[in-house]
Amino acid sequence: MASSSVASDCFSAEESSLATTMGSSSGASDCLSTEVPCSKGDFFDVFKAATPRKPLCLYFTQGCCTMMDEGTHMNTHTHSFMDLDTKCSDLKNVEPQHFDYFLVLDLEGNIEILEFPVMMIDAKTLELVDFFHRFVRPRKIRKRIDPYVEQHYGKYGISSIWHETAIPFTEVIPQFEDWLAKHNLWTKELGGHLNKAAFITCGNWDIKTKIPEQCKVSRMEVPQYFMEWINIKDIYLNFYKRRASSMLAMMGQLQMPLVGNHHLGIDDATNITRIVQHLIVDGSVLQITARRNSDGKVEFLFENRIW
């Protein structure tokens, strides 16, 4: 069983370059704020203060770990999401939400989807209810799959896990729908829309762009539950009155250390969930920010939003 060999602070040369680029004058407009400007230091602080932890077992997250009774494996891998524990959180400022549950989605893969992670949190208690995680095997780039996967996951030492567990997108979606149905969040009888739940993404790309592209490649219709979503960047902008064009920018401004590895989807979904929890604890009410109309065009519902 392979495990991540990346140090917990995961401050690689690539991320150093990212932080430098994001903090440069060319990216300054994304960091402008009417209250608290983000700075180059915000990005470095996110990585430097990264929470040390054992690597997450990526067989466990996909429901297929067979070594949970072996002491060595349990001592070297994490099998929980303790970073999302809200038992000690002060919930006195939490406002009633429009939904019972939030589904935090963060896809990975530029050409085709490589990873499909979702964190389900209770909108009242902010507790993690469940999670869904699958590695996704592309359909059209089979001859180039090894370098594509290695480029994305090689630095984390988990390419072998991806190759062992990845399944086609056409299998991921039915499994995801079974998971939604298990939690009474979706049924075909309801027209395919979510029941008292909403997706949350960090940007519009995941559901606006990538899901339709992948559905086209996979020769399937875009599911009806992907017709609206909450872009957490727009919620952040309108609640805190300051811009943050990325997950790292929000975490830097909120002085939140990075958990896990950036651009490993299940870890990014965890960190985005932590931002969501922070917003709700501070009193934010999360609303739908974008909706796909019947003609396929997307309507953005916030006038003040991240472009």
What residues are annotated to the active site?
108, 263
Helix %, strand %, coil % for the chain, to 5?
A: 40, 15, 45
Q: What tokens does 199 get? A: 């997706």
The answer to whether 162 and 3 are in contact (CB under 8 A) is no
Element (H, E) at 109: none
Q: Please state, in angstroms and rounded to a whole number, the distance separating the CA atoms of residues 276 and 60.
A: 24
Element (H, E) at 299: strand 298-300
Closest CA to 243 of 88, 43, 32: 32
**CA-CA-CA-CA dihedral for 192, 271, 8, 261, to nearest 10:** 50
SS3 label, residue 212: helix
Burial label, 213 (beta-carbon count in 10 A; 0-12, 13-18, 19+):
middle
Closest CA to 306 of 284, 287, 289, 281: 289
The answer to whether 226 and 213 are in contact (CB under 8 A) is no
Beta bridge partners of 198: 102
The answer to whether 59 and 65 are in contact (CB under 8 A) is yes
Beta bridge partners of 119: 104, 131
